[in-house]
Amino acid sequence: MTVPVTAPVASAGEWAKRLGMDKLVIRGGNRLSGTIPISGAKNSALTLIPCALLTDEPLTLRNLPRLADIDGFQHLMNQFGVMTAVQGKRPEDFGRVMTMEATRITSSVAPYDLVRKMRASILVLGPMLARMGEATVSLPGGCAIGNRPIDLHLKALEALGAEIEMAQGYVKAVAPDGGLPGGKFDFPVVSVGATENAVMAAVLAKGTSHLFNAAREPEIVDLCKLLAAMGAEIEGIGSSDLVIHGVKRLHGATYRVMGDRIEAGSYACAAAITGGDVMLEGANAEEMQATIHALRNIGVTVEETKSGVHIIADGPLKATNLTTAPYPGLATDMQAQLMSLLCKAEGTSVLKETIFENRFMHVPELNRMGADIETEGRTAIVKGVETLTGAEVMATDLRASMSLIIAGLAAEGETQVRRIYHLDRGYERLEEKLQLVGADIERVGDD
């Protein structure tokens, strides 16, 4: 059974209602124990969905997380004339299956109203340019975690032969008659999104493209594997040196989205701060080695198994120093969660954020809960405290939201987290998963 996109499944209106009304109430102190199923990776899914624009045959993605951003991207695909259908599943199930068919693309414009709240929408630029020879995309929005320019996206596409114009808040890209010729581009700094856009643009180019200093994140490997399943010819998958031989057309495919390494790391921190024992079912240890290394340095036992990652926190937490870096370094998306964990560690920790310049907005909220954190530019100094206390706090971005949940699980008393629409963008039914392992957490109306 399939459900057409017009069916009322997590509609934009429903998300808007939740955005304005809901909050999470956490009564801390419970030790987490049990199994948490890890969902499909948000950051991968948002890259795989636009691949449907590269073929006129059906593309089916399995293990898609139920998230606001996924629904938003689905609506954006419909804007282009892509037919989408969601396989019927029980509401209590995690994940879903979506089939997309871009037999005929009816528009090459991604309007502001659909793009403004989701930065990943810029990823339609490359595939639309490759398939249609032109694309007009509104400048994207997303979390307010610092300056995230798209200049590298545009420079990479120009190197592949595109002509780029910017006017009135839109980017217009045009390929020469006959399509992109392909080319070479050396990224001056590692950029995940720009690498993804360039790869999707290059797979249908007339010639061979060479990308140097490309990002190596597992989500990019997932993208390349899907494209290869659709008939793309890509060399160097998993390395920083990608060679893409353009092909005339791609065909459809059925593909399973990788597990979410950031979600797994987030729940690992939640288990650890409560002294818990939690199996992260479906987590891939190989893809989250930097996070595992950090957890072990903090004093958490991490067991890598065939079915997932087992987290055991049966001793004191220890201070450590952490620095975010491009993969295989520590993901910037794990910085806030690890900071919350270190609030309860013995000693003083130093965290350095090298990716984004404005990603410490959760610090004042954690300090409201009794944390002792000072910031100096892109460095945060965390002095461990014996006790965190519940408070009313405000989420500022996706990962910051999770850091407040983690702190609330260990705090004395009640914590109320407002503006949780950020969480709905990136964590599939978070409160339900935490309830599975014993957390006292509920979503209530924010009166």
Q: What is the DSSP string of 63-104?
A: EE---HHHHHHHHHHHHTT-EEEEE---TTSS-EEEEEE-SS
Question: What is the average per-residue pLDDT within 72-85?
Answer: 94
Amino acid symbol at 99: T
Q: In Å, how far from its chain's centre is CA 396?
A: 16
E strand or H helix at 198: helix 192-202
pTM: 0.92
pLDDT at 51: 98
CA–CA distances in Å: residue 225 to residues 218, 222, 231, 257: 10, 5, 10, 10
What the chain holds in terms of domains, given with CATH numbers, is 13-38+259-445 (3.65.10.10), 42-256 (3.65.10.10)
- 150 assigned to a ligand binding site: yes
- 237 assigned to a ligand binding site: no
pLDDT band at 88 (very low <50, low <70, confident <90, very high): low
- 355 assigned to a ligand binding site: yes
- 256 assigned to a ligand binding site: no
The larger pLDDT score, comparing residue 302 to residue 149, is at: 302
Taking Cα atoms as reference points, which of 242, 223, 134, 231 lies closest to residue 184? 242
The mean pLDDT value of the chain amounts to: 91
pLDDT at 112: 84
Residues with active-site annotation = 143
Contact 119, 142 (CB under 8 A): yes
Q: How many angstroms separate the CA atoms of 290 and 320, rounded?
A: 13
Query: 8 by DSSP, 3-state: which?
Result: coil
- The pLDDT tens digits of the residues spanning 239-266 come to 999 999 999 999 999 999 999 999 999 9
pLDDT at 53: 98
pLDDT at 224: 98
Of 84-88, 108-112, 405-409, 418-422, where does the model show the most confidence? 405-409
The answer on pLDDT for 92 being more than 70 is: no
Q: Any residues with CB less than 8 A from the CB of 51 and at least 6 apart, and which?
A: 59, 127, 200, 223, 226, 227, 230
